[in-house]
Structure 1
């Protein structure tokens, strides 16, 4: 299939090559002869995302994330949807981002589709100039950016569109013909490759309850702005962090004198001047900021300093007053401006590419300093070269996020039982209460975190506004707003019964549904999410005599599932980004819980695609953010070696080896005269105050490089180039000696965190560095013994572990040192705290992380983060004792560690099919151990020291499919 010949051409429509946030529809009708449906297959790809319909039925979504040089396409068997002897229709909704982000490289709008009929029918339809296209008029392209990592929120006005457009009998005669972009190989998509993983699932999940009912009011005016792209238009082409010095300016007209509150529901504001007077008296819990102003009737010039770093996302601003007011563009930018804001600047800007260093932002630039004194819109004339309108596409007054964060009034009511009908998909709808002069807000609890496509069905009068906002965490009256993520939908109803399913993926647990501007009661039939994830079977499982550990294993499993999309992702809500370093640990958990292989291989294969950006490989792919975390590349090297060893796939090792060798060669060029890695970059390991500067010799980074070199040597042997292994092992040993010789502090009996670029030795000592030293075999003799002591009794003066991600490495070190009880105790404490606080998934951070300290209710940022799912791996590897001893699991150990438990049972899936199942129970000092495994897997079974007992083994035959594929040991 990779070399298939295409008759289809890339097509697009409209006047813009890469329009911002455009949803564009394409249609083609065609005849299917009798028998032509049998075996019919549709091949399709698009830039950026598509939703496919065949004769009105949704048939698929895609494509998977790609580097443009290797654009993936999907193939669907759609014969069951075709109607022989009749007119058929293919309809495709293409969502084109038009801006770069953390999972998309900006290309241009495009659709490619080709339908092959069954038998000898030939091509039934292929994209060309005969296809019809129209922008989806219901979608507002001015909707807010969700975040710097993602695309856009939904604003959808159902009054402006005929939902029958996907059906065969729809009349598209007034739609324009599509434009031909070019044949396969043209445009940014240099090569087409077939999808390398199965299609994702889509399962309808309903909520568990209506958690609250309130009458609410939003501020009178709220808006979301894209200041980054407005200030620096070229920043739409990349996702690098920018810094700029500049302002927003507007004229606020009060109809009469009165109080006005100016609010910034998502922070990101430093100084605001009204008529030249600096606003003071700010209040509100960070990052929300509010200021009360007493304003006379008439015009008031507002100048907002927006200087600083900006990665992307929406700038939220709102105002509320008992008096009427309006905003307009200052005269200097009013000509042709359809927004009330002008941009003033940038007076200076920088682009921050992590591994290259960054020029500091100049906030002493004379014209910028002078602009702070602007008191009136006429004063802008002297800054005309810096003044321009904020483009209309970067401004929206449909700010659902701002209107949820800042509710100017909220009155709670008991939830009537009838409202639960909307969460039960009852044949009888729930009638939503109405409140005079206020909107109706329902908080709907889905019981646990989910990831997918939000939908609802309702009967409503025309013009009713239904807002939806996804949250991850609530407790009593506290709501943890998704600051930095606009996780919202606004839907404006046509009259009557209607259904909407957002084509944008979202992660959430709680859905805030707000009914606004309803002229008659709204009947809510159902609210749901089409849960979407990588298709897996739960081949692994774990149960034991400790109910808390069972709950912890389950949240680890559920977290991992929600973070398996077309790649592993860090979280389903804030980012949905494939972070390379995170995925190494996620892969290990997956091996023990689900046993999926294709997703791991796909993730590993995607990483070298960033080689055109930097030979050091970027830390999230495919991404338009040119950011390097060296450790993340080192973890990728380790993950490649672990995948080859887990599967016994030597062909994979041979294919990936050149890319591994390439990046390590370039990293070794940064080893300086000291014999240590000395590099500029985002030298991250943990969200904790360890000393890990972005320039200099970072100890943990050197240690992980040493480990990566050793792992690469093993990979080279598996790849069939053993002659390349020895030099890597030698470099690893030299690096180990340099670390041990120069980064150990004899007085503190520990490794320092770093040596700064100016040669200054760090005064910081952290558990992170000691854990990594032990895990990477840096220390020997007495020093190693000292580190083993630290693992069991971490010194209080050391920086402590700050994230479950770092705990994964800590647990690896504890297992290596045989401290199993200590590991289980830490799991109970750290993850038990999550369970105690109602967690259904694993948190990104621990509550003591500095970002959480400003608000004691905020326990973590992301409540679903797969880098934190360590128990899913370690409970199977330690308590069940199931571990691989040889490549491809030809040999395995079953050596349980009871850790005070009375019994445990579970299973770990094998890459060649089947699984190893273990069940044990202790009665007095005796263990009864039962093991089941394929009979071609050699097992080393051991009763724990200090116990007597018996072992029973049962055997299964190897998987016939694995045998046919040559995967059996």
Structure 2
């Protein structure tokens, strides 16, 4: 739903060290009134240049409160402390016209008497990642009621600019690839105000914060303002302590696994350069926390990488370190010579989390020995729970499930990420697949709903959504706008949320209209602007598509692939429009879809090869065209299965051969298998995922490593986790039969497997299946549905009606 429909929803964060649980709170409605609290800045520091700031205020309470609710936000970000304890991190990423604030009950951390509220706020300026949108530096805290107003941000708060920080450039030239994660952190411990968040810290030298700008307001009020405030709609991120697994290589020093286990500090003598290569065992997203003492002037560089590189710049087996070097994202800490007693130990923690399997410490000492006391990671991510289960007679599928789930987890935070290491941007093509995984494995639709809304906010004057959002760098992929419409259809099929979906229909119509205006007289797509990405495939005769990933015919017009994707979307839009009473528009788009299909069949079907060509010139062919022709019924239903079989059998081994779908577009191949009753062939299609496991990947990559060519850039990419969804929707066969998942169809397809078990969360409860094949090719087993859910079991042309509860089934 649009913000106006969600204004009354406030979120209470029951905070622990992991600050990851969220409950609905009854509180004052701060979404319909001006806020007495004001945005704060430093009185003299530039507000739009790189800077890290600390804000503090002491408050006196007559007794320990049972409730002390505040609403907090900042630009770019904040980390909030109460009496020295970290209690929140935010705000959830968004844009300035939908700027999130968190609602937090601080009472568990308060006491009678003096209490200190403190916040670290950073503004990265040109050092910010692309995913960070912003206006300028600012910090805001609003007390919820009369008791809490003592905490409101105003000129009684103090502020200090931390001179210890400076940025480390981690850019495209340095890492030799597209990376937009912003700069790393360099911290000089000698200039850091250690203990600044603690109640006993002396802040007399700090200056009064300056109130900035117009009165603070929520979205929709007032005439001026730069942050239109809206309540956070997702829970706080999970956080838990983890430790690296093993020491893999040491140069000019001594370190054992005892250090990684927190049992034995490491000393690096004076005037020494030592290098320690550490292996986490699996890829992770975490805030590394390195504890250091002594070693005045020692420079410690922390480098992070998904994998190491050989002399030819290839990753190869991700487990191997011999003959390989680190090429990674860096942070740096400069020790100040503090001792190890009390507060003397220094802890370096970067402002934002890092993604790594390998973490390398490069320690360069000066005239004193430095002591590495400890190193831990604080894992972070969206608090998905793995509620689904999948098991079969083939235990080799279990690692694919586990690695797929790790991939999905690492690609989800305050937004979905395409990849956590290189971009952390929420791209629609990735997000559609990730959202379905979220629904099926976790049963959590909140991040999906936020993503749909984010894309709606991203629409610009063409009517299209941006390809990725939030993003400070403008990018448009028209095919991803179409997949945003498909995301609406997915959500509609799985959740009953009519008000939210109806609020998205105007934006959907703008996207559909943009594409309709570009249908040429031929009936195919005319020349298309922007970046019409389809897949990182080896497209033939697509020389004019310099951006990469674009099929032949996008720039000049006449692409069968893009035309069929347009039809694919129009049919789904027709379903939505008809459901919400817009029957005339629904039929208009369905008719357009049929016309597009007809044009593709008439102009791009090559009878000699028995395949769809990429353009009417018929000089290139791809799996993608056939997959979409099947999904849109551009080819007669009776011929679809045979055509799909032929497409999968034809390899890419010559100039006129078939361009193969890579990991991303195999999701649509799997959907075509499901549609044509070929689901039994899904498991054999998983060889590329098995190959990744054989190469030591602990998450699934963006694209295949090329033989004697470049490795996949990203070793963790959301779209490659699609087998999780298919295990449950194809192998176990669990799919919504009606919009809102008000009934279920279960049509298992498990090929050569003899047994399959699965469970997925449904809004009414769990759906669970246990199936076995009989010697005669029949099916027996148990199906358990939520009490209020009904459905149908299908197996080789036979059906059984299902009811709520546990039932034994047999189809012979």
TM-score over 0.5 for the alignment? yes
Asked whether the equivalents of residues 18 and 96 of structure 1 are also in contact (C-alpha less than 8 Å), the reply is: no
Moved over 6 A (4+): 950-954
TM-score for both structures, normalised by structure 1:
0.72
Q: Which residue of 2 aligns with 1:824?
A: 683
Within 2, Cα distance between the matches of 1:773 and 1:196? 38
Q: Which residue of 2 aligns with 1:235?
A: none
Asked whether the equivalents of residues 47 and 109 of structure 1 are also in contact (C-alpha less than 8 Å), the reply is: yes
Go from structure 1 to structure 2 and tell me whether the alpha carbon gap of 1:670 and 1:626 turns closer, same or farther (over 3 Å shift).
farther
- Bigger radius of gyration among the two: 1
Q: CA deviation at 1:834?
A: 0.8
Q: Which residue of 1 aligns with 2:265?
A: 430
Q: CA deviation at 1:648?
A: 2.3
Output one character per residue of 1:385-437: Cα deviation in whole Å (capped at 9) or x when no partner.
Answer: xxxxxxxxxxxxxxxxxxxxxxxxxxxx8xx7x621221123xx232455x97
Greater Cα offset, 653-662 or 516-525: 516-525
Within 1, Cα distance between the matches of 2:158 and 2:503? 42
Output one character per residue of 1:747-769: Cα deviation in whole Å (capped at 9) or x when no partner.
Answer: 443222246xxxxx362211222
Q: Which residue of 1 aligns with 2:190?
A: 159
Asked whether the equivalents of residues 703 and 736 of structure 1 are also in contact (C-alpha less than 8 Å), the reply is: yes
Q: CA deviation at 1:73?
A: 0.8
Q: Secondary structure of the residue that 1:612 maps to in structure 2?
A: coil
Asked whether the equivalents of residues 568 and 628 of structure 2 are also in contact (C-alpha less than 8 Å), the reply is: no
Task: Choose from 753, 760, 778 the match for 2:634.
Answer: 778
Q: Secondary structure of the residue that 1:107 maps to in structure 2?
A: coil
Task: Choose from 225, 233, 257 the match for 1:420.
Answer: 257
Please tell me whether residue 872 in structure 1 is matched to residue 724 in structure 2.
yes
Task: Choose from 9, 12, 33 the match for 2:41.
Answer: 12
Within 1, Cα distance between the matches of 2:57 and 2:750? 63
Please tell me whether residue 443 in structure 1 is matched to residue 277 in structure 2.
yes
Within 1, Cα distance between the matches of 2:324 and 2:96? 40
Asked whether the equivalents of residues 42 and 210 of structure 2 are also in contact (C-alpha less than 8 Å), the reply is: yes
Asked whether the equivalents of residues 167 and 184 of structure 2 are also in contact (C-alpha less than 8 Å), the reply is: no
Go from structure 1 to structure 2 and tell me whether the alpha carbon gap of 1:945 and 1:447 turns closer, same or farther (over 3 Å shift).
farther
Go from structure 1 to structure 2 and tell me whether the alpha carbon gap of 1:614 and 1:28 turns closer, same or farther (over 3 Å shift).
farther
Asked whether the equivalents of residues 415 and 451 of structure 2 are also in contact (C-alpha less than 8 Å), the reply is: yes
Q: Which residue of 1 aligns with 2:555?
A: 695
Q: Which residue of 2 aligns with 1:326?
A: none
Please tell me whether residue 939 in structure 1 is matched to residue 794 in structure 2.
no
Q: Secondary structure of the residue that 1:140 maps to in structure 2?
A: strand
Q: Which residue of 2 aligns with 1:55?
A: 83
Q: Which residue of 1 aligns with 2:201?
A: 170
Please tell me whether residue 683 in structure 1 is matched to residue 532 in structure 2.
yes
Residues 259-274 of structure 1: pairs in structure 2 closer than 5 A: none
Please tell me whether residue 846 in structure 1 is matched to residue 704 in structure 2.
yes
Task: Choose from 493, 497, 501 the match for 2:335.
Answer: 493
Task: Choose from 606, 613, 635 the match for 1:752.
Answer: 613
Q: Which residue of 1 aligns with 2:569?
A: 708
Q: Which residue of 2 aligns with 1:137?
A: 163
Q: CA deviation at 1:638?
A: 0.4
Q: Which residue of 2 aligns with 1:179?
A: 210
User: What RMSD, in angstroms, separates the aligned Cα atoms of the two structures?
Assistant: 2.7
Task: Choose from 292, 295, 298 the match for 1:464.
Answer: 298
Q: Secondary structure of the residue that 2:190 maps to in structure 1?
A: helix
Q: CA deviation at 1:45?
A: 1.1
Q: CA deviation at 1:549?
A: 0.8
Q: CA deviation at 1:143?
A: 5.0
Asked whether the equivalents of residues 50 and 62 of structure 1 are also in contact (C-alpha less than 8 Å), the reply is: yes
Q: Which residue of 1 aligns with 2:377?
A: 529
Go from structure 1 to structure 2 and tell me whether the alpha carbon gap of 1:622 and 1:614 turns closer, same or farther (over 3 Å shift).
farther
Q: Which residue of 1 aligns with 2:749?
A: 897
Q: Which residue of 2 aligns with 1:127?
A: 153
TM-score for both structures, normalised by structure 2:
0.85
Q: Secondary structure of the residue that 1:557 maps to in structure 2?
A: helix
Within 2, Cα distance between the matches of 1:631 and 1:454? 38
Go from structure 1 to structure 2 and tell me whether the alpha carbon gap of 1:132 and 1:666 turns closer, same or farther (over 3 Å shift).
same
Q: CA deviation at 1:715?
A: 1.5
Please tell me whether residue 652 in structure 1 is matched to residue 689 in structure 2.
no
Structure 1 unaligned spans of 5+:
216-412, 756-760, 958-969
Within 2, Cα distance between the matches of 1:525 and 1:707? 58
Go from structure 1 to structure 2 and tell me whether the alpha carbon gap of 1:107 and 1:754 turns closer, same or farther (over 3 Å shift).
farther
**How many matched pairs?**
733
Within 2, Cα distance between the matches of 1:481 and 1:807? 32
Output one character per residue of 1:3-49: Cα deviation in whole Å (capped at 9) or x when no partner.
Answer: 244111112115455433321222222222325x3211121111111
Asked whether the equivalents of residues 464 and 481 of structure 2 are also in contact (C-alpha less than 8 Å), the reply is: yes
Within 1, Cα distance between the matches of 2:493 and 2:637? 29
Q: CA deviation at 1:778?
A: 1.8
Within 1, Cα distance between the matches of 2:626 and 2:750? 27
Within 2, Cα distance between the matches of 1:450 and 1:905? 29
Q: Which residue of 1 aligns with 2:458?
A: 610
Greater Cα offset, 493-502 or 97-106: 97-106
Q: Which residue of 1 aligns with 2:21?
A: none
Q: CA deviation at 1:87?
A: 3.8
Q: CA deviation at 1:113?
A: 1.3
